Chain A
Amino acid sequence: MKSRLNINGLDREFEADPTTPLLWVLREQLGLTGTKYGCGVAICGACTVHINGVPVRSCVRAVSSVAADEKILTIEGLSRDASHPVQKAWIALDVPQCGYCQSGMIMAAVALLREKPKPSDRDIDEAMTNICRCGTYNRVRAAIKVVAEGGDARTAGLSIQHSDGSIA
């Protein structure tokens, strides 16, 4: 049976059992592998996408429960060229290590900053429940604050030299 979802602004058709989690439709039917499988039980957050702007753990969300007109946003749809302010801050501060959890981290951070443009540390603690085993948490926090403060990465004080001559 063919179904339809609106993903990153495009209507996409696919065939999958209706009980299939959204995560696996994204990854296996639609080739959007930026969204990751980490735990399958909505704990680690690697599979975080937005549905109508709300962060959702796609690994436990049956695809049949998402209506065709609901707007799904994945990491691939955040920007064409990694130019979203959150992505720019992540790049400036070299946040990722292995990077596997970072799609979910970024989607969670984008949702947080939309809800609370100037999040407190406590807001960050409560919203950023994603697991990162490399331990990038402090740079994640710093990057969120960079965005909240207007995007000047120098405020993080990491002194990272980029190839374009900029220093974060």
Chain B
Amino acid sequence: MSGPAVTRRQFLASSAAGGLSLAFHLPFAREAIAHGETIPELNAWVVVRPDDTVVVRIARSEMGQGTLTGLAQMVAEELGCDWAKVTTEQPTPGENLARKRVWGNFSTGGSRGIRESQDYVRKGGAAARMMLVEAAAIEWGVPAAQCSVSKGVIRHAASGRTTSYGRVAAAAARLSPPTEVVLKDPRDWQILGKRLARLDTVEKVNGKQIYGADLSMPGMLNAAIRKCPVFGGKLLGFEASVIESRPGVRKVVRVHDDTVAVVAETWWQARTALDALPIRWDFGPHLSASSEAFSKVLRAGLDASEAAIGNRNGDALAAIRESARSIEAVYAYPHQNHACMEPMNAVARFTADRCEVWTPTQNGEAALAAVSEASGLPAARCEVYKINLGGGFGRRGAVHDWVRQAVAIAREMPGTPVKLLWSREEDMLQGRFHPVTQCRLTAGLDASGNITGLHMRISGQSILAGVFPQNIRDGRDPVVFQGLNDGGAEAMIGYSFPNLLIDHAMRNPHVPPGFWRGVNLNQNAIYLECFMDEIAAATGQDPLELRRKLMGAHPKHLAVLNAVAERAGWGSPAPAINGHKVFRGLAQTHGFGSYVAACAEVSVSAEGQLLMHRIVAATDCGHAVNPQQIEAQIEGSFAYGLSAFFGQCTVKDGRIEQSNFDTYPVVRMPHMPRVECIVMPSGGFWGGVGEPTIAVAAPAVLNAIFAATGQRIRQLPLIGQSLRRA
């Protein structure tokens, strides 16, 4: 076994920590370290150094969600090393390509980091352990089966001999990898499943963590950019002469056919010059587009005769028609911007035979493909170095528009590294937005208040149509039905209705959509869970009891719901807080492979002020890799999901109206409810944790608002809507 040694990356890491220079050519080969000694890898995932420190290779991107630590825990568990001696490094997409994708998928989205790679990274750790043990056994002339391992120390009990991983690593690396690898029983886990501290915290509290926006290189120039603010518009021209004599300005660059960039010595010079640059746009065909107009299109889609079917059993429309009574409601969910705290950025360096890009990305391989395409060079002559992400949330995964721009600019100045950094305004206007949809829900009810049929008609935007149109089949976008599917391990509806129809009339505005943390689960859970509450109110049933009646065939959904209800004290009045009467609301869903539920406790004052006091949240993610980090993801999900109460992205004159946090308010400290997490892994499967809870945040609170006020909120944001008691 051989492969890239650790030294090269040590260099990269230490250079990055210095913050001021990165090497351009990082050779992809074995290298010697300081004492003339080589450190071959045991396999793609594990390098053990002579001093017993362990390097675990991490292919997925760390953007705050903790996957770096979680993946390292999984490898370290099976490796049987000392957790205190674990460090990590990230292979590059180019290395993955050159080694026939030995590290698998780099894509970090859909809460897949842990669950999709757990099998092969654990096997990587286990195989390395077996080789280390075998090397010791050969040295001692004893059977490997007689040797045991603890914290990186190999022991042969009968002879009393011990050695360390570091001492046998070189010999182990020369052995053939085992053909059969058995993974540990979860009951024996000592590192996996524990509430371990993250590996990457210290540098995030002392200013040393380098993000893409912080990169600097010798001779580097900086670029500020503006794309036509109206989607689909074109760049007609600009008066470069107006700004060319400004201090620091080096070049004004046309980028593609719809964008202009200013390159200067510093970013501030570039940005201020760009602001002073006269630009002429052809705003294109969508100049009159508006959110109001598109809302009417969506409304019409609710009545359209044609719709793609997502889930159907029985004949819901007939059942509703023939029912004693029916209730109906129309909900809507607005466009949202990911609004990562770190705006999009990339450093690109182009020469005639090589193009390299340093960028925060959720998918290094997709970024590499974008570099290859934008540079006109084969992928083997391109490379992407993943830099720590200042937030991702889906924005930095599927579409690498900023990478293409950076390469296009770098092509104009071969040999010079150029850092493109978007302004916050550019980031807000050129987002890949949470899709906008409306939903009409209609339920048929019998005389006893039982549901005879349910119809959910979703009308609106398809992410796939905008991002991966090749995945649309017969006009149907399967991702639209997230959380509403009839079965499956990914995102299954949690209720059994005697008759059910869920369908989607696709209506795509000109606003480009994207995978926004939680994706379509967000609005689908609002629609269904709030409407379940409406049915409960209309039929005089307790919202929990109504749900329970329909969840007999969905025990895992029910278990998380029961857990939050019990912990919150559902069924007995919530104690008043500071004289405010407190009310509760429930929601549950299944998404990204995990079962989640929330019970929100809110009060609404006589003046209509909403206070979110406490949320109890439960997650069954099958196996819990690091419960304290799962809790961090659950808490963060409420901040992200509840931000839709405060802000939305609207379109006027063809462009997004909100250009900064002044017009796009998000959850801040005073809004943040206390969150009590119940992490309840039931075993037997691996679910994601970064996203599912977002979907229950809003509906749990909206249902609690109804309990408090008798008022149904059917569209977000809340801002601008009165919460006075109906």
Contact = CB atoms under 8 A, between A and B. Distances in A.
Partners in one complex: yes
A44 B341 contact: yes
Nearest to B209: A99
B195 A133 contact: no
Contact of A82 (B202, B666, B674): B202
A58 interface: no
Interface string B606-639: 0000000000000000000000110110011111
A91 B205 contact: yes
A100 B669 contact: no
A124 interface: yes
A160 B196 contact: yes
B56 to A, nearest CB: 14
A87 B391 contact: no
B195 A135 contact: no
Nearest to B213: A37
Contact of A106 (B205, B391, B393, B629): B205
A28 B268 contact: yes
B637 A135 contact: yes
A21 interface: yes
Interface in B56-72: 63-66
Chain A interface residue bracket vs B: 35 or more
B661 A43 contact: yes
B206 A100 contact: no
A3 B222 CA distance: 22
Given A97-B632, A124-B669, A135-B640, A90 B205 contact: yes
Contacts of B20: 31
B266 interface: yes
A94 B64 contact: no
Contacts of A21: 268
A79 to B, nearest CB: 7
A111 interface: no
B290 interface: no
A161 B64 CA distance: 19
Contacts of A34: 206-208
A133 B666 contact: yes
B538 to A, nearest CB: 34
A52 to B, nearest CB: 20
A81 B205 CA distance: 10
B8 interface: no
A130 B661 CA distance: 11
Given A138-B675, A163-B84, A158 B207 contact: no
B662 interface: yes
Contacts of B635: 135-139
Residue in A32, A46, A74, A163 with the greatest tally of chain B CB atoms within 10 Å: A163
Contacts of B631: 158
Residue in B194, B341, B675 with the greatest tally of chain A CB atoms within 10 Å: B341
Contacts of B507: none
Q: Per DSSP, are chain B's interface residues mostly helix, strand or loop, or mixed?
A: loop
Interface in B197-226: 197-198, 200-211, 213-214, 216, 222
B632 A98 contact: no
Nearest to A80: B206
B339 interface: yes
A31 B64 contact: no
A28 B266 contact: yes
Interface in B413-429: 421, 423-425
A128 interface: yes
Given A20-B268, A101-B341, A94 B628 contact: yes
B216 A31 contact: yes
B640 A159 contact: no
A168 B674 CA distance: 19
A39 interface: yes
B64 A96 contact: yes
B206 A87 contact: yes
Residue in B202, B211, B636, B637 with the greatest tally of chain A CB atoms within 10 Å: B636
Interface string B485-524: 0000000000000000000000000000000000000000
A102 B198 CA distance: 15
B206 A136 contact: no
Contact of A39 (B194, B213, B392, B661): B661
Interface string A137-154: 111110000000000000
Contacts of A28: 222, 266-268
B70 to A, nearest CB: 13
B268 A24 contact: yes
Contacts of B203: 99
B268 A160 contact: no
A132 B197 contact: no
A41 B632 CA distance: 29
A100 to B, nearest CB: 3
A20 B269 CA distance: 9
B639 A134 contact: yes
A87 B205 CA distance: 6
Given A97-B636, A99-B203, A100-B390, 4 more contacts: A16-B268, A133-B391, A137-B668, A137-B672
10 contacts: A33-B213, A34-B207, A46-B341, A75-B206, A97-B65, A98-B389, A99-B200, A131-B661, A131-B666, A161-B196
Sorted nearest first, the 4 A-B pairs with minimum C-beta distance are: A34-B207, A135-B639, A98-B64, A99-B204
Interface of A: 16-17, 20-21, 24, 27-29, 31-41, 43-44, 46, 74-76, 78-79, 81-82, 87, 90-91, 94-103, 106, 124-126, 128-141, 158-164, 168
Interface of B: 19-20, 63-66, 83-84, 194-198, 200-211, 213-214, 216, 222, 247, 266-269, 338-343, 388-393, 421, 423-425, 628-629, 631-632, 635-640, 660-662, 666-670, 672, 674-675
